[in-house]
Each structure stands twice: as structure tokens, then as C-alpha cells.
Amino acid sequence: MKRILVVISLLISICAVAAAQEVRDYIGILDAKRTFEPTKISVEDTRYIGIDFISASDSIIMQNCAIILRKDLDFSPYYQIVLLDTFFMKHMELTEMSVLGWKRLGSKYLVKLDAEFPGENMRLRYRVIDVDNSQESFRGKFEAAKADYRALTHTVANDIIRNLTGDEGIFRTKICYTRKIGEVREVYIADFDGNNERQITKNGSINLSPAFDRAGNNIYFTSYKDGRPKLYKYSMANGTTDLIAEYEGINSAAAISPDSSTIACVLSKDGNAEIYLLELSGKVKKRLTRNWAIETAPTWSPDGKKIAFTSDRTGVPQVYIMDVEGMNERRVTFIGSYNDSPCWSPRGDRLTFVSRDNGFVVCSVDTLGNDFKILAHLGNNENPKFSPDGNHIVFTSDRLGQKDIYTMDLFGQNQRRMTTGGGYASPDWGPIKR
Amino acid sequence: MRTGDLIISIILHVAVILTFVISGPLTQKKKLELGDVMHIRLSAGQELKPQAPPVELKPIEIPSPIQMDEPIVPVMEVASKTQKAIVNKPKPKPKPEKKEQYQPQTEKGDQNRTGQEGGKKDISDELSSGSRFGGASIDNASFSYPYWFDQAFSKIERNWTNPVFSNSKIQCTIYFQVIRSGRIIRSEIKESSGISAYDRACLQAVERSQPLPPLPDTFTEEIIGISLIFPYLPG
């Protein structure tokens, strides 16, 4: 009889624990919404202030500078570009927009660009006018080789954002990703807006999960170039590739700690996939997870004290957080039967991840698992990664048929396609270089 | 087979069935309901291709000359100059309708916390028309940069979430100091609302806004101190 009671109490305990795992529920799900109106800002076409006649190619560069600056400022969730309204001008019988005209169109700030071309260089001067007060707020001047006019304009955009918000702009950051062409998947890098794409690996094999280190000097990735998945490091400075880890089984999903001293990655050398901490040389520092389930996709908190990861210990993948010693594990995703690919916001307050509903959607929660928000749900959306300022997310989506890279702001708005042609996966956003 | 084993077997079966019956409704998941159609903002204009036909040359406009003594800096470096316009000085804004404005307490040493000359100045009229703040004052009377107030207060407002519900009107005043780089070096609750959760949320709104926009170059002092009122209006 005693044995029966023990068995019954054991079963009841198991049942209670199982129920407690799933008892948490949410009343409704809200899409992310902005609670503020973005500030409206206008950029006038670039004026030429040189003395000599301007060439046709320089004229096109000048026009492109204004267009790039408009796109950059419009990319920020806090600003919205107001474009020149020709109907308005006709109605007002204006031949040229005045500050008052921009004010009537709703602009709060007006950016005036002046350019000149000393030698093979381009000098770009900007002034930001407070339209309400018709007062110049601040100004800046930059110069670069004419061929680098795109970088020059991004620098102007960064300076304007820094003066307006106090935050560093992300308009000169890079995004790395993989692209499949035929049977080969190689690592590429491009500007945040998809321009200046450059191929990083050329080994004719399968290369996966590229990840920047926090200084942006190296890209860590997993490659099958030697027949099985090993971890490599590509140096941006000298273009060399070094082997980091070749333990038996999987060596993948590298994530570099905020102080760039440690690699969190997934190894299966002891049986199933578990999360380990490695030194930069590849030597194992510590094994963090230890159970029968598959643990993968580690991502560091910005203070370097915690790691979020995916585990299927409940039978389905869910996102968990543990401290960097591998202790104090807790689950943070409770909605959806499949949650994977977490990424911790650089601000530290939220995690973005992929959840499976009818398709795969990009979602976010706070670090306690509350405030669940759906950010991208058109088509299948995967591999979300935060920008270094925490204001944007890069992800892949097949919403238009092919799998391309997209960006959006942290509210899920202003979604833009970054690449075309399909075959893209695993984007990672590089740091702001100072 | 012994009777005891049979009983154990029956009990185990019953227990397993019970487990499914009990845990079934609890584990039932709600179907995710996706929200409205997402609004996608179109990008701002099409960029011209370099191969595009040359555009028609327009007469060159000669704008006001650049001050050539300003150093030209490489593209990687930031060189901003804040300059107040001399011309087109706007007329002073009419005072907004009388709000319950914050009256600073006349405590000892409060008059000049940042050590600046000129004393405090009410800057409530610098708050934008839709602002949720109830008023503001600055220790440095000479700091008069509307764009800075607009952007700094907008950033704080974006980070302000109210965690409480109240039937009565309450307000909390936060005092903070900002140095040239825009970094907030000190923030404190100057006047409590009486509800600690509300006070904490107001203080966090300021702290989460770190850093604020850098102080304009033409402002010569090193630090400013601002008192900002966070009101709560029921309904």
C-alpha cells in the first residue's frame, strides 16, 4: 500500500509540474505600435557652391547625396522625411521652397546641403534649420574622395542623428550574411542599406552563421570546407581565415561576448548539442548546459553577465536565459509551440526571436518574458538580429517568394528589403565603429 | 500475477488517464491572432543610377560664402558647429494658457545647483504643443536652444511609461544635470508624487534617455540642470 501511495504522489507531482509549465497565459496579443509620432524632417536638394562649372557626373553625385540622406534619416524610427510637394508649390505659386513652405508641409527641421568639389574630393556642408523658429540649430562639414560620396553622406546622417538624439548613428555599419548560389553558401558583407556587397569566403563549400565580434574586426563563422562543421575566424584587417575550433561533431553558432574575450558556441563533442564558453583561441573554458536536450543559438546580454539560448528540453524549442556560469536558468517564451533564434537587444531590455504560428514570425519580449509583440509576420521570417543601437532589426523573409534580407525598426515598422535575388540567410549586424 | 501488482497496474493506468484529463485544458493554447495589416512606409525617392543621362545644368547659385577659416575635417571625424541665427529672430512665443506650473522650492542652495550665474528660468513654453510634461525649468537662464529642448524632451517622453492608475491628479518632478557630451550625470526625484512606482517610472524615463543630445557648441558653460514635471491626469 505504501508503494502505491508513493507511485500516486509521484504521478500527481509530475502532472502538477507539467501543468505549471503551461499554465501561464496571455490575454490577447498586440502587434508592436509606436506610441509617439516621428519628427518630420526635410532635406533640400544639394546646392553647388563652387566657382567652376559643375560636370554632369558631379551633378548626379550631388543629387544622390540628398537622396541618400533622405533615406538614412527616414530609416530612423524617430524621424520621418517630408518630400517636396510639387502640387503644394504650384498651389502656392512658389518657384522655390522657403522655410515657411516646409513648415506648411509639416516639417519640424530642414536640412540644407551645400557641396563643392576641390580636386578629386567632395566637400559636403550641412545646416539644420529649426523651421518653427527659422533658426539654424547646428551645422557640420565633411570631406572625402568623390568616389566615397556615399560614405560621406552616411557620415553627415550620423552627425545629424547624434546632434538631434545624442545616440550614435548606424549609417556606416555593416551587415554580414550568407548567400546560397547553386550548392555553395558563402559569407558576404554589405553596408546596412545593402550597398557595397563584398564576398568574404570563397571556399566553394557550405558556410553558416557568420557573427561579428564587438569591435567589428573579425567575423566568426562555421564552415564545412574541411568536410565537417568547424569554427573559423575571418580577419577584416588582413583577409585571413583562421581555424578556431574543430572538436568532434558540431562547432557552430558562435556569439562573441561584449568584452570580446569569450566565444559562446554550440559543440556536440560530448554527445548532443550543448552550449560552451571558449577562449578566443578555441580552448574550452566552461560547459554551460548539461542535459539530454538540444541547446543552441546563444546570445549575450549587453552587460556580458547572461546568455539567452534555445532549448527543446520541454519537447519543443523555447528560449531560456541563464547566467554566464550556466546557473539560474529560466524560460522566457511561453506563447507558441516553437520559439528559436533569440537575439538580445543592445539596450538590454528586450529579446527578439522567431516564433512559429501559421508561418514563422519575428517577435519580441522583455527579459522577464512579458510584453510579447509580433514584429514581422508577412511570409516566413527568420534569424532576427538587433542593430548596434537597438533601434532596428535585420531578418530574412520569403514574403516575396525568395528568401531575402529585410530590415525594420524595433516597432516592426518601416520594413525594407535589403537584398534581391534570394538565397540569403543568417544576417548579423556589425558594430558602430568609432 | 499477484493481486497487488494488478491493483498497481490499474492505479497507474487511472493516474495516466487523469494526468491527460487534468493537464489537457491547462495546456490548451490560444491560437495566435495576428494584428492588422502592417503599414510599410515607402522609401524616400529613387536614387539615380550613375549611368543615368546627364541632368540639365542649372544656373549655379552663389550662396552665402563659407567661412574659410573653419577647418575641413576628414570624413571619419565629426565637426559640428551650433550656431544661433542672427537674422530672422522669431518673435517670442505667446505664453501658453496658464497651467499648474511648477514652483521650485526655495531650499537652501537650490537657487544655483549647477553653479551658474543668472539663476533659474521657466522653460515651460519650450515644451511642444502635444507634450505630456506639465512644465520645466532650467538652472542656466542663458541656455536658449529650442531644438535641444524639443529633442531632449521628446526622447524622455518616448521612454516614459506610466505604471499606475489613479483617480486623482498627481505629479512628480525630476531634476537632472547634463554635461557637454549630452551625458546625464545626475538625476533625482525632486518632488515626489507620493506613489513610489510613479516616481520610479519618471526617474527611469530620464535615466533611459541617456545620452541626451550634446550641448550646442555655442553654449559656453559645461553643465545644465533641468527640472521636469511629469503629471498624471485621471481619465
Q: Please compute the mean of the pLDDT values over residues B146-163 and round it to a whole number.
A: 91
For the cut 90, the answer to whether the pLDDT of residue B14 exceeds it is no
For the cut 70, the answer to whether the pLDDT of residue A128 exceeds it is yes
For the cut 60, the answer to whether the pLDDT of residue A247 exceeds it is yes
Tell me the three state secondary structure of residue B197.
Answer: helix
The model's pLDDT over A393-413, given as tens digits with 9 standing for 90+, comes to 999 999 999 999 999 999 999
**Lowest-confidence segment of A116-120, A236-240, A270-274, B49-53 by average pLDDT:** B49-53
pLDDT computed for residue B165 by the predictor: 82
Mutate which: A40, A135, A192, A380, vs B, most B CBs within 10 A: A135
What confidence category does residue B181 fall into, taking pLDDT thresholds of 50, 70 and 90? Answer: very high
pLDDT computed for residue B31 by the predictor: 41
- Smallest CA–CA distance, residue A102 to chain B, in Å, is 16
pLDDT computed for residue A13 by the predictor: 54
For the cut 60, the answer to whether the pLDDT of residue A61 exceeds it is yes
Q: Which residue of B has its CA nearest to A19?
A: B23
For the cut 70, the answer to whether the pLDDT of residue A315 exceeds it is yes
Contacts of A8 in chain B (CB under 8 A): 11, 15
SS (H, E, C) chain A: CHHHHHHHHHHHHHHHHHHHHHCCCCCCCEECCCCCCCEEEEECCCEECCCCCCCHHHHHHHHHHHHHHHHHHHHCCCEEECCCCHHHHHHCCCCCCCHHHHHHCCCCEEEEEEEECCCCEEEEEEEEEECCCCEEEEEEEEEEEHHHHHHHHHHHHHHHHHHHHCCCCCCCCEEEEEEEECCEEEEEEEECCCCCCEECCCCCCEEEEEEECCCCCEEEEEECCCCCCEEEEEECCCCCEEEEECCCCCEEEEEECCCCCEEEEEECCCCCCEEEEEECCCCEEEECCCCCCCEEEEEECCCCCEEEEEECCCCCCEEEEEECCCCCCEECCCCCCCEEEEEECCCCCEEEEEEECCCEEEEEEECCCCCCEEEECCCCEEEEEECCCCCEEEEEECCCCCCEEEEEECCCCCCEECCCCCCEEEEEECCCCC
For the cut 50, the answer to whether the pLDDT of residue A26 exceeds it is no
Q: Please compute the mean of the pLDDT values over residues B98-104 and round it to a whole number.
A: 39
- DSSP run (H or E) holding B27: helix B3-27
A416 has a chain B CB within 8 A of its CB: yes
- In Å, the largest CA–CA distance within chain B is 108
Q: Please compute the mean of the pLDDT values over residues A186-192 and round it to a whole number.
A: 97
Handedness of CA B126, B127, B130, B134 (dihedral sign): negative
Question: Residue B65, preceding bond cis, omega within 30 degrees?
Answer: no
Contact A143 B75 (CB under 8 A): yes
Candidates A198, A104, A114, A190; CA nearest to A156 is A114
Q: Please compute the mean of the pLDDT values over residues A75-83 and round it to a whole number.
A: 93
Question: Which of B38, B61, B90 is closest, CB to CB, to A412?
Answer: B38
Mutate which: A45, A48, A60, vs B, most B CBs within 10 A: A60
Region of A265 on the Ramachandran plot (φ > 0 left; ψ -120 to 50 alpha; else beta): beta
For the cut 60, the answer to whether the pLDDT of residue B17 exceeds it is yes
The model's pLDDT over A216-228, given as tens digits with 9 standing for 90+, comes to 999 999 999 999 9
pLDDT computed for residue A14 by the predictor: 54
For residue A318, the cross-strand partners are: A311
From chain A residues 356-395, the ones with a CB under 8 A of any chain B CB are 357, 361, 374, 376-378
For residue A397, the cross-strand partners are: A381, A404
Contacts of B8 in chain A (CB under 8 A): 3-4, 7
A191 has a chain B CB within 8 A of its CB: no
**What's the pTM?**
0.78
- The C-alpha atoms of residue A31 and residue A54 are separated, in whole angstroms, by 50
Contact B8 A133 (CB under 8 A): no
Question: Which of B26, B70, B75 is closest, CB to CB, to A144?
Answer: B75
Contact between A319 and A308 (Cβ < 8 Å): yes
Q: Does residue B121 or residue A200 have the better pLDDT?
A: A200
For the cut 80, the answer to whether the pLDDT of residue A195 exceeds it is yes
User: Over pLDDT 70: what percentage of chain A?
Assistant: 91
Contacts of B158 in chain A (CB under 8 A): 35-36, 78
Q: Please compute the mean of the pLDDT values over residues B167-181 and round it to a whole number.
A: 93
A327 has a chain B CB within 8 A of its CB: no
Instruction: Give first-to-last CA distance, chain B, whole Å.
Output: 73
pLDDT computed for residue A10 by the predictor: 55
What confidence category does residue B88 fall into, taking pLDDT thresholds of 50, 70 and 90? Answer: very low
Tell me the three state secondary structure of residue B183.
Answer: coil
What mean pLDDT, rounded, does chain A reach? 90
pLDDT computed for residue A79 by the predictor: 94
B86 secondary structure, DSSP code: S
The structural domains of chain B, ordered by start, are: 121-232 (3.30.1150)
What confidence category does residue B1 fall into, taking pLDDT thresholds of 50, 70 and 90? Answer: low
Contact A30 B35 (CB under 8 A): yes
Question: Which of B44, B52, B54 is closest, CB to CB, to A83?
Answer: B44
Q: Does residue A171 or residue A86 have the better pLDDT?
A: A171
Q: Does residue B58 or residue A70 have the better pLDDT?
A: A70
Q: Please compute the mean of the pLDDT values over residues B211-215 and round it to a whole number.
A: 96
Region of A123 on the Ramachandran plot (φ > 0 left; ψ -120 to 50 alpha; else beta): beta
As given in the structure block, the three cell numbers for residue A101 are 513652405
- The C-alpha atoms of residue A157 and residue A173 are separated, in whole angstroms, by 12
pLDDT computed for residue B52 by the predictor: 41
As given in the structure block, the three cell numbers for residue B90 are 522669431
Contacts of A191 in chain B (CB under 8 A): none
A168 has a chain B CB within 8 A of its CB: no
Contact between A121 and B74 (Cβ < 8 Å): no
- The C-alpha atoms of residue A299 and residue A254 are separated, in whole angstroms, by 9
Contacts of A109 in chain B (CB under 8 A): 147
Mutate which: B3, B46, B75, vs A, most A CBs within 10 A: B75
Q: Does residue A88 or residue A240 have the better pLDDT?
A: A240
Mutate which: B5, B38, B39, vs A, most A CBs within 10 A: B38
Contact A19 B66 (CB under 8 A): no
For the cut 70, the answer to whether the pLDDT of residue A75 exceeds it is yes
Q: What does residue B77 show for φ and ψ, rounded to 5 degrees?
A: -100, 155
Q: What does residue A384 show for φ and ψ, rounded to 5 degrees?
A: -75, 140
Contact B63 A144 (CB under 8 A): no
What confidence category does residue B81 fall into, taking pLDDT thresholds of 50, 70 and 90? Answer: very low
Contact B38 A31 (CB under 8 A): yes
A306-311 and A262-267 as β-strands: parallel, antiparallel, unpaired? Answer: unpaired
Q: Which residue of B has its CA nearest to A411?
A: B38
For the cut 60, the answer to whether the pLDDT of residue B117 exceeds it is no
What confidence category does residue A194 fall into, taking pLDDT thresholds of 50, 70 and 90? Answer: very high
What confidence category does residue A91 fall into, taking pLDDT thresholds of 50, 70 and 90? Answer: confident
The model's pLDDT over A132-170, given as tens digits with 9 standing for 90+, comes to 888 899 999 999 999 999 999 999 999 999 999 999 999
Contact A31 B30 (CB under 8 A): no
As given in the structure block, the three cell numbers for residue A372 are 510579447
Q: What does residue B120 show for φ and ψ, rounded to 5 degrees?
A: -80, 160
Tell me the three state secondary structure of residue B19.
Answer: helix
- Smallest CA–CA distance, residue B185 to chain A, in Å, is 14
Contacts of A70 in chain B (CB under 8 A): 44-45
Contact A15 B19 (CB under 8 A): yes
Q: Please compute the mean of the pLDDT values over residues A3-29 and round it to a whole number.
A: 48
For the cut 80, the answer to whether the pLDDT of residue A416 exceeds it is yes
For the cut 70, the answer to whether the pLDDT of residue B105 exceeds it is no
User: Over pLDDT 90: what percentage of chain B?
Assistant: 33
How many other C-beta atoms are found inside a 10 Å radius of the C-beta of residue B78?
17
Residues 6+ apart with CB under 8 A from A383: A341, A354, A395, A396, A425, A426, A427
Q: Please compute the mean of the pLDDT values over residues B128-140 and round it to a whole number.
A: 86
Q: What is the ipTM of this complex?
A: 0.82
pLDDT computed for residue B55 by the predictor: 37
Q: Does residue A431 or residue B71 have the better pLDDT?
A: A431
Distances (CA, A) of A98 to A67, A92, A399, B216: 19, 11, 41, 25
pLDDT computed for residue B70 by the predictor: 42
Instruction: Give first-to-last CA distance, chain A, whole Å.
Output: 73
Contact A36 B158 (CB under 8 A): yes
